[in-house]
C-alpha cells in the first residue's frame, strides 16, 4: 500500500484481528437458520408515499455496514425483505430520485418479524468549500466523508458520500438534514487528515455541523498540514527481512482511545523497512507482527501487549526513525487429545498463563484439534501454562491439564491429554440390616459402558472396593455399628469416563 493511500485511515482493516478470526472459528453454526421479515414504507417530509425508490438492507457486523439486499418500493411506498439470520443488526438505506437526499433508518435488531418506522426522505442539502495547504494555499485533492451525529453518538463508519476536491473547490451534495461531522482525508502529498471545525485532527474533537434540508452550507477553506511519520525496520531472529506478506506493522492512535479507525497497515519493503505517514501529531503505539505461529508479536518497545506498551509522542510534521525490531521465535505446546484410544477432533484447546501459582482468567491462545486429535498451541511466550480443553458439542467434560513450563523458543510435548465423558448417572440403592450396609451401584455414561472400581467410605475410612461388571456392582459392608450413618460412594472413573461421588444415608440394625 502506498503511503498516499494509507491516509484513508478509517477504512483500513486491522492486522491484529487475526486472533478474533481464530476464536470465531470455534462457534457452532445452527443446523437451520430461522427467517424473519422486515417491512416498512418510504415517505417524503410531507407524509406522501414514495414509489419506485431504491431501498437497500444493510447489515452491521464487526467490519462495518454493508448492503446485503435491495428492492424498489411499490406504488404505495412499501418495501420488504426476508433475512435468514435473526439476532443481527440492520439498517435501511433509501435512494430516491428527484432531488431527494439519501435517507437512513436507525439501526435495529431482528429477533422476529420487524415493522420498521417510516423512512423519510428530504430535499437534498450540500456543503461546499475547498481543501488547501495551510502554508501555500495550494488546492489539495481529498476524500470527504460525512459522519452522522445522533445525540452524543457519532457514526464512525460514515455515510457513503465521497467527493474528490477540485482546484475550484468541492460540493458535497445528497445530504439529508441533520447533524454531521465531516472528515477531509487528503489523497497523496503526505498530508494528515483534518475534520470540521478548528482544524481538528480527530473525529472525536471535530465540531458538529447542522445541515438544513435543501440548503447549501459553505464551509470556506479547509486547511490541511503535512502529516508526521514513523519509519522503522522489522527483521527475524537471524536479522533477515521477512518474505513478502509474512510480517506486518500497525499503529494505534492513543489520543483516539485506540480507535480501530486509526489503525494503518503499511507496506513492508523487501529490505524490511516500513513507513507510517500522514499522521496527525499525537501519541501512538506501534505493533509489529510476524506470521501466525513462528514469531511472537510485539510492540515498538518490546512490550507483549497494548496495555504494557509505552506510547511514542509525534509532533506535527515530525519524521521519527525507530530502531529495528527483531521478532523473537515463539514457544509452543504440542499434544494429542484422546478419550481412551479414540482421537478427538475439533476440541478447543486454550492456553492460560500461570503466574506465581495463580491461573490467569484470560486465555492467550486457542486452537482446535485436528482429525488425529493433535494440536499445536502456538505462539506462546516463555512461561507456565495450563491447557483447558472444551468440547464445542458438549459431549466430553471440560478438562484442565497439569501445568507446563515452556522456555524461550521451546516446543514442549504434552503427550496425550485425556478428555473424559461425564458420568451420566451414578445410581445407588442402599439398605441396612443387622451389622451390615448393602449398596447396589449402577454407573452409566454416553456411548460407552463404564468400567473400573467403586469404593464405599465412612468418614475418611475406606471400607470396601469392588469392580464394576457391565456398569453394575453390589457392595456389602459388614461389622457396622448399629445406627444411622452417611456413607460416601465413589466411582473412580476409567480411561474414558469421569469419576463421580454421591452420599447415601443407611440405618444399620
pLDDT category, 176, cuts 50, 70, 90? Answer: confident
Distance, CA of 456 to CA of 489 (rounded, Å): 5
Q: Single out the residue of 461, 378, 476, 384 nearest to residue 429, CA to CA.
A: 476
For the sheet with 483-491, list strands across it. Answer: 461-467, 453-458, 483-491, 500-508
Three-state DSSP state, 206 = coil
139: exposed, middle or buried (Cβ count in 10 Å: 0-12, 13-18, 19+): middle
Residue 423 forms beta bridges with which residues?
445
Q: Are 164 and 172 in contact (CB under 8 A)?
A: no
Distance, CA of 399 to CA of 493 (rounded, Å): 14
This prediction's pTM = 0.63
Q: Single out the residue of 318, 321, 323, 505 nearest to residue 429, CA to CA.
A: 505
pLDDT category, 25, cuts 50, 70, 90? Answer: very low
Three-state DSSP state, 231 = strand
Cell of 493: 472413573
pLDDT of residue 32: 44
Q: Single out the residue of 147, 246, 263, 143 nearest to residue 197, CA to CA.
A: 147
Q: Model confidence over 403-432: pLDDT tens digits?
A: 999 999 999 999 999 999 999 999 999 999
pLDDT category, 102, cuts 50, 70, 90? Answer: confident
What number is the average pLDDT over the span 53-63? 89
Cell of 498: 469421569
What number is the average pLDDT over the span 244-267? 71
Distance, CA of 49 to CA of 76 (rounded, Å): 6
Q: Model confidence over 306-325: pLDDT tens digits?
A: 889 999 999 988 999 999 99
Q: Model confidence over 191-200: pLDDT tens digits?
A: 998 998 867 8
Q: Model confidence over 181-232: pLDDT tens digits?
A: 998 888 878 899 899 886 788 888 889 999 999 999 999 999 999 999 999 9
| Domains of the chain, start order | 9-23+34-121 (2.60.40.1120), 125-224 (2.60.40.1120), 227-326 (2.60.40.1120), 331-418 (2.60.40.10), 423-508 (2.60.40.150)
Q: Are 142 and 64 in contact (CB under 8 A)?
A: no
Q: Single out the residue of 301, 305, 289 nearest to residue 362, CA to CA.
A: 305
C-alpha count within 13 angstroms, C-beta hemisphere, residue 310: 2
Q: Model confidence over 443-468: pLDDT tens digits?
A: 999 889 999 999 999 998 999 999 99
Residues of the chain above pLDDT 70, percent:
89
pLDDT of residue 158: 63
Q: What does the mean pLDDT of the chain come to? A: 86
| 18 has pLDDT over 60 | no
Residue with cell 452524543: 152
Distance, CA of 446 to CA of 400 (rounded, Å): 21
| 154 has pLDDT over 90 | no
Distance, CA of 303 to CA of 298 (rounded, Å): 6
198: exposed, middle or buried (Cβ count in 10 Å: 0-12, 13-18, 19+): exposed
| 163 has pLDDT over 70 | no
Q: Single out the residue of 428, 266, 401, 260 nearest to residue 336, CA to CA.
A: 401
Compare 408 and 31 and report the one with higher pLDDT.
Answer: 408
Residues 6+ apart with CB under 8 A from 509: 432, 433, 434, 435, 482
Distance, CA of 191 to CA of 446 (rounded, Å): 65
Q: Single out the residue of 199, 214, 195, 208 nearest to residue 262, CA to CA.
A: 195
- Render the burial of 39-61: b for 16+ CB within 10 Å, e for the rest: ebbbbbeeeebbeebbbbbbbbe
What number is the average pLDDT over the span 346-357? 96
Q: Are 20 and 98 in contact (CB under 8 A)?
A: no
Amino acid at each position: 500500500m502506498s503511503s498516499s493511500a494509507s491516509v484513508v485511515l478509517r477504512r483500513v482493516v486491522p492486522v491484529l484481528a487475526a486472533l478474533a478470526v481464530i476464536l470465531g472459528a470455534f462457534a457452532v453454526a445452527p443446523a437451520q437458520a430461522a427467517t424473519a421479515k422486515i417491512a416498512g414504507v418510504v415517505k417524503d417530509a410531507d407524509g406522501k408515499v414514495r414509489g419506485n425508490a431504491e431501498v437497500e438492507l444493510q447489515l452491521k457486523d464487526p467490519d462495518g455496514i454493508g448492503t446485503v439486499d435491495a428492492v424498489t418500493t411499490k406504488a404505495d411506498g412499501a418495501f420488504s425483505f426476508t433475512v435468514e439470520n435473526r439476532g443481527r443488526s440492520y439498517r435501511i438505506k433509501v435512494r430516491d430520485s428527484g432531488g431527494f437526499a439519501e435517507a437512513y433508518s436507525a439501526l435495529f435488531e431482528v429477533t422476529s418479524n420487524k415493522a420498521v418506522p417510516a423512512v423519510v426522505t428530504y430535499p437534498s442539502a450540500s456543503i461546499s468549500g475547498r481543501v488547501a495547504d495551510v502554508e501555500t494555499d495550494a488546492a489539495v485533492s481529498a476524500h470527504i466523508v460525512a459522519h452522522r451525529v445522533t445525540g452524543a453518538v457519532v457514526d464512525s463508519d460514515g455515510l457513503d458520500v465521497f467527493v474528490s476536491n477540485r482546484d475550484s473547490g468541492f460540493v458535497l451534495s445528497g445530504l439529508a438534514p441533520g447533524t454531521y461531522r465531516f472528515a477531509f482525508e487528503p489523497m497523496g502529498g503526505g498530508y494528515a487528515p483534518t475534520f470540521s471545525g478548528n482544524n481538528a485532527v480527530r473525529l472525536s474533537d471535530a465540531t458538529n455541523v447542522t445541515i438544513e434540508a435543501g440548503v447549501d452550507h459553505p464551509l470556506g477553506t479547509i486547511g490541511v498540514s503535512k502529516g508526521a511519520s514513523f519509519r522503522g525496520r522489522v527483521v527475524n531472529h537471524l536479522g533477515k527481512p521477512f518474505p513478502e506478506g509474512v510480517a506486518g506493522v500497525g499503529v494505534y492512535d492513543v489520543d483516539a482511545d485506540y480507535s480501530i479507525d486509526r489503525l494503518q497497515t503499511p507496506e513492508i519493503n523487501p529490505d524490511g523497512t516500513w513507513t507510517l505517514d500522514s499522521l496527525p501529531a499525537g501519541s501512538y503505539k506501534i505493533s509489529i507482527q510476524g506470521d501466525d505461529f513462528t514469531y511472537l508479536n510485539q510492540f515498538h518497545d518490546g512490550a507483549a501487549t497494548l496495555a504494557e506498551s509505552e506510547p511514542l509522542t509525534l509532533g506535527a510534521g515530525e519524521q521519527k526513525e525507530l530502531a529495528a525490531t527483531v521478532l523473537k521465535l515463539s514457544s509452543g505446546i504440542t499434544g494429542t487429545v484422546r478419550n481412551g484410544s479414540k482421537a478427538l477432533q475439533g476440541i478447543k484447546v486454550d492456553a492460560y498463563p500461570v503466574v506465581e501459582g495463580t491461573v490467569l482468567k484470560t486465555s492467550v491462545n486457542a486452537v482446535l484439534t485436528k482429525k488425529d486429535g493433535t494440536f499445536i498451541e502456538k505462539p506462546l511466550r516463555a512461561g507456565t501454562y495450563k491447557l483447558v480443553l472444551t468440547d464445542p458439542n458438549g459431549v466430553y467434560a471440560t478438562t484442565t491439564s497439569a501445568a507446563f513450563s515452556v522456555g524461550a523458543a521451546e516446543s514442549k510435548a504434552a503427550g496425550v491429554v485425556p478428555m473424559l465423558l461425564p458420568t451420566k448417572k451414578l445410581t445407588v440403592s442402599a439398605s441396612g440390616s443387622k451389622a451390615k450396609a448393602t449398596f447396589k451401584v449402577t454407573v452409566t455414561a454416553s456411548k460407552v459402558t463404564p468400567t473400573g472400581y467403586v469404593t464405599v467410605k465412612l468418614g475418611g475410612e475406606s471400607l470396601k472396593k469392588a469392580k464394576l461388571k457391565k456398569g453394575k456392582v453390589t457392595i456389602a459392608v459388614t461389622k457396622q455399628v448399629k445406627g444411622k450413618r452417611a456413607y460416601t460412594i465413589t466411582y473412580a472413573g476409567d480411561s474414558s469416563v469421569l469419576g463421580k461421588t454421591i452420599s447415601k444415608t443407611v440405618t444399620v440394625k
